[in-house]
Amino acid sequence: MNSKPVHPSYRIVFMGTPLFAVPTLDALHGSPHQVVSVVTQPDRPKGRGRKVAPPPVKERALQLNYPVYQPESIKSDTARSTLSALQPDIFVVVAFGQIIPKATLLTPKICAMNLHASLLPKYRGPAPIQWAIINGEKETGVTTMLMDEGMDTGDILLASKVDITPEDTSATLHDKLAVTGARLILDTIKAFADGSVAAKPQDPLQASHAPLLSKQDGHIDWHRPAEELENLIRGVTPWPGAFTYCGEMRLKILKARHVASDSDHAPGTVLSSFPGELRIATGKDALLVKEIQGTSGKCLDTRDFLCGCSIEPGTVLR
């Protein structure tokens, strides 16, 4: 009688902080492996009220009854000794938010592996999801790698591709990649168990960087082509958000599409169009705004917005 191969159960220390990491924690919880501790960032002030709030990974870990460790610095001797005492087989790290020193990375018996939201070596850094959309990529993905002291520079283990649709924003792509990444982590651990994975060095000549976005990155430069602006709007939604100014009024644009135009109006000029439409000249073609938010703070369909706040043709946005 043939029996199915039995894969070992590993002792895992999970390190992660934001919502992106939660599906991986859930996947590990439903696996044969033992999560011996969840390491996450300290509670921080959040939102307009600046109330101290736990990170999403901590909230989920407590719901799953895992012990939570929140060191101010993962580089401290205390953090290193605390992790060592857990005798982990594997570190699984997903958007933890601190650089882990080499001595600590050597703590697990097998390896320290990281999940990154791009097809490495492209888009190393803290904002790979946003920049993939902003740059007009048609696909991205997730990669597991062995961790080293660099920023997403470790040897690649496995990767999984995900299409970027024309409707994707950084929010929707974030969710797809988080789920795909959770599956990839389990596949990677299984590959370690059966010896089917071989780590491959990254090609530094193919590397690109995805720096952290600032609020100013959302300011629309109307001199750019409309297609690029459509990608920008998708990439910075929901944060930091794409915005422009109509006089002194700040307008946030949440959805738009580029359309052909042979207008010779200056970039940023509101063009004549059908009632309820907002069509704006750009460096190439025009941008048709579909959803917009004014000073009221409520996102509206453009037609509804224009009913209460008319923007006349010839107005120049900046």
Which pLDDT value is given to residue 54? 96
Domain boundaries, the chain: 11-206, 215-308
Residue with tokens 């990491």: 21
Q: Alpha-carbon distance 63 to 68, whole Å? A: 11
0.85 cut: is pTM over it?
yes
For residue 107, the one-letter residue type is: T
Neighbours of 19 (CB within 10 A): 16
Structure confidence at residue 3 (pLDDT): 47
What pLDDT is stored for residue 1 in this prediction? 44
CATH 1.10.10.10 assigned to 215-308 = no
Contacts of 149 (CB under 8 A, 6+ apart): 99, 101, 102, 105
Q: What is the pLDDT along the chain (318 residues), one digit of tens a residue?
A: 444 555 689 999 999 999 999 999 999 999 999 999 999 999 999 877 789 999 999 999 999 999 999 999 999 999 999 999 999 999 999 999 999 999 999 999 999 999 999 999 999 999 999 999 999 999 999 999 999 988 999 999 999 999 999 999 999 999 999 999 999 999 999 998 999 999 999 999 999 999 999 999 999 999 999 999 999 999 999 999 999 999 999 999 999 999 999 989 999 999 998 999 999 999 999 999 999 999 877 899 999 999 988 999 999 999
Contact 123, 206 (CB under 8 A): no
CA separation for the pair 64, 297 (Å, rounded): 36
| pLDDT tens digits along 76-126 | 999 999 999 999 999 999 999 999 999 999 999 999 999 999 999 999 999
How confident is the model at residue 6, as a pLDDT? Answer: 58
Three-state SS for the chain is: CCCCCCCCCCEEEEEECCHHHHHHHHHHHCCCCEEEEEECCCCEEECCCCEEECCHHHHHHHHCCCCEECCCCCCCHHHHHHHHHCCCCEEEEECCCCCCCHHHHCCCCCEEEEEECCCCCCCECCCHHHHHHHCCCCEEEEEEEECCCCCCCCCEEEEEEEECCCCCCHHHHHHHHHHHHHHHHHHHHHHHHHCCCCCECCCHHHCCECCCCCHHHHECCCCCEHHHHHHHHHHCCCCCCEEEEECCEEEEEEEEEEECCCCCCCCCEEECCCCCCEEEECCECEEEEEEEECCCCCEEEHHHHHHHCCCCCCCECC
Overall fold of domain 11-206:
Rossmann fold (3.40.50)
The Cα–Cα gap between 245 and 220 comes to 9
